[in-house]
Structure 1
Amino acid sequence: MFEYILGELTELSPAHAVVETAGIGYFINISLQTYSTLEGKSSVKLWLHQIVREDAHILYGFADTKERDLFRLLITVSGVGASTARLILSSLTTDEVKAAITTENVNLIKQVKGIGLKTAQRIVVDLKDKVSADESSVQQILSTSNNTLKTEALTALVMLGFTRSAAGKVIDQILKEMGDMPVEDLIKHALKRL
């Protein structure tokens, strides 16, 4: 099993990165979290998880070990494969996923495309004892009065090409200053500030 790869970033998209090391280019599947971290960099270090199937050897790369560890926990849940785990980590930050599991916030997990109620409940039940969220991140998740609003706006802004971290900060700032509003208005306000 590979632990990490260190090399030159030769190609980057929201779904994958190609890292060249020792004259070989490795195609690595990544989440949007990792994509945001890698943007603008030429030399990178990605923590890897390798999946070996009969027809393929697939690499998944992560900007930090915290995200990789959560990915590995998610794929142990029945009904959650590597693609679904990557989608969860693209839709929510590592801290948001951990806080949702710790506080049993099934609705937040269910907002991820392709995750139904039963799968969300299974994730919470199976991982509640294995995941420990930072107290500050749990408070941050709980203090946001409308996570659906934030998630929808954040997803829209990421699809428009903005980085997840920058968009998230702007959305938090707008919600703090102005309170809840329709998602369309939140996106318009965010676009003016980004």
Structure 2
Amino acid sequence: MIEYIKGELVDATPAWVVVECNGLGYGINVSLNTYSAVQGKKEVKLYIYEAIREDAYVLYGFATRQERELFLLLISVSGIGGNTARMILSALSPSELCNVIGSGNDKLLKTVKGIGLKTAQRIIVELKDKIAVTGIESAATVKSVAVAANTEIYEEAVAALAMLGFAQAPSQKVTAQILKEEPDAPVEKVIKLALKRL
């Protein structure tokens, strides 16, 4: 089993990176969170999850162990495959995801592309107790009050960006980032700032 791959970052897109290690180029699926973490770096270390199926051998890479741990929890939920789990981790940072699951916010989870209400509720029910023992939540709990206040603005901004034709995952990522930097920003300001970054 591959624990991690450390090497030169040869190519990087928001969903895929190539890491060269000892003359081998590994094509690795990544989330937007991991892409942001490795972007612009020459040397990278990615924690790996190998999905070995009859028709494919797929590598998923993560900038942190916590993100990989959450990925493993997500794919343990029936109906959630590797790509859906990656989509969830692209829309929400590990601590945000822990918050969403811990607070039972199925509305916010449902905004992730490919996640319906029933799936969002299943994720929350199956992972709520498991998330509590990961230790990631402790960092998230501090933000829970702010996140609750921002949820409405976040949802409004993402919906507005979708209407303007922007893809959901990048819109969610940018909106979350803006609200992290400026928690008191009104929705109009969040949208204006998001338009500059997308």
Paired letter, 1:171: L
Aligned length: 188
> What does residue range 2-151 of structure 1 map to in structure 2 within 5 Å?
2-132=2-132, 133-144=136-147, 145-150=149-154
Q: Does the 8 A contact of 2:14 with 2:32 survive in 1?
A: yes
Residues in 2 aligned to 1:47 and 1:191: alpha-carbon distance in whole angstroms: 32
Paired letter, 1:172: K
Cα gap change, 1:100 to 1:66, in 2 (>3 Å): same
- Displacement after TM superposition at 1:64 (Å): 0.5
- Displacement after TM superposition at 1:126 (Å): 0.7
- Displacement after TM superposition at 1:191 (Å): 5.4
Residues in 2 aligned to 1:37 and 1:193: alpha-carbon distance in whole angstroms: 17
> What does residue range 155-166 of structure 1 map to in structure 2 within 5 Å?
164=173
In structure 2, stretches of 5+ residues that fail to align are none
Which is worse superposed, 136-145 or 61-70? 136-145
SS of 1:85 mapped into structure 2: helix
- Displacement after TM superposition at 1:13 (Å): 0.2
Cα deviation, 1:56-115, whole Å, max 9, x if unaligned, reads 110000000000000000000011000000000000111111111111111111111110
Aligned-pair identity (%)? 46
Residues in 1 aligned to 2:140 and 2:7: alpha-carbon distance in whole angstroms: 32
- Displacement after TM superposition at 1:141 (Å): 3.3
TM-score, normalised on structure 2? 0.83
Cα gap change, 1:131 to 1:106, in 2 (>3 Å): same
In structure 1, stretches of 5+ residues that fail to align are none
Alpha-carbon RMSD: 2.8
1:171 aligns with 2:179: yes
TM-score, normalised on structure 1? 0.84
